[in-house]
Amino acid sequence: MKKIKVLVVDDSAFMRKALREILESDPQIEVVDTARNGKEALDKVAQLKPDVVTLDINMPVMDGKEALKLIMETNPLPVVIVSSLTTDEAPITMELLDLGAFDYVPKPSGTISLDIHKVAEEIVAKVKEAYRARHRISSRKPSPRALKTSFQPTKRGLAEYIVAIGISTGGPATLIDILQDCEVDEETAYLVVQHMPPQFTPSLAKRLSEYTPIDFFHASHGQAVLGGHGYLAPGGWHMKVTPDKKIKLFKDDSYIYYPSVDVLFDSVAEVYCPNAVGVLLTGIGRDGAEGLLKMKQRGCITIAESEETAVVYGMPAAAKEIGAAMEILPAYRIASAIKRHIRRIKERSGGRV
């Protein structure tokens, strides 16, 4: 059986050795070499042609951000970020995900994590998922990004219509690609759950505000759901919408993911259907499939991303399997579908079109 060839990139000799041991503990993985910085990584990617790269961010000579840009331009392949989650590094990691990094694994205790074994299982799993997605990674071209130059007025009433989106692995870039082509109107709000640690979600909310026409909040408990705005669930908290159209954040150990897409979709089904659109995008596992089915059963429009564009065809596949998705579309057709369905829902219910 062909082994997955991995290049490990980290400026710490300890981390390079530890990551090699973790990865090669799996019989399906072979670490073909290591690199101490981004420049070495570029040379070894061209020479060795690995299947997957694990990449640190802060390194001398050439950092992870510059290395990733050049890898994706010259030899696009799956890159898993393995780095610390400091306040400074979280925004940079968000940029790397937007540039095409497959996923990230946080080092448990900083740049040189003596306890890296705590995330050994996650590292191996994400390298394997990255390998399975390698053909989609190599063919994907990042969409052009433009900073928003003007912001919408902030005085809005409570949202009458909802677009609810759930997403996981491969999410930030896909999310921005879709939302940058969506419309803002004073009656519709966007509610988003992205599987992501708490250190990252403030940076993602900021990027969504900067690169899409929608003004996004990093959602807070008790916040009113206003038309014309977006609300991103904070990492580590479940987010639902209450009957009085406010955000409720809470903990519940019965769910695998924090935040859970199913929690959001279930609440939208209860409060907003049929005046809502549910969208389930790329990601590992089954989170969101049952919630999307509930939205469909309550009369909402439901959409799942197709295998053609999903970086990881897990969550959308689960929705398709149980018949939860009314439409199965590639990512590049989802924004136009959202706009079309919101207009039809408004026409039906007497809203402003």
Give the active site residue among 98, 103, 177, 287: 287
Give the active site residue among 10, 195, 238, 262: 195
The candidate with the shortest Cα–Cα distance to 153, out of 226, 233, 245, is 226
The answer to whether 215 is a known catalytic residue is no
- What are the structure tokens assigned to 167, written together? 């997403």
3-state DSSP call for residue 250?
Answer: strand
The answer to whether 84 is a known catalytic residue is no
Specify whether the CB–CB gap between 282 and 315 falls below 8 A. yes
The candidate with the shortest Cα–Cα distance to 10, out of 35, 44, 39, 47, is 35
3-state DSSP call for residue 56?
Answer: coil
Specify whether the CB–CB gap between 335 and 311 falls below 8 A. no
Tell me how crowded residue 244 is: count the other CB atoms within 10 A of its CB.
9
* Cα(73)–Cα(64) distance, integer angstroms: 14
The answer to whether 218 is a known catalytic residue is no
Strands 247-250 and 238-241: antiparallel
Give the active site residue among 168, 209, 260, 306: 168
Catalytic center residues: 168, 195, 287
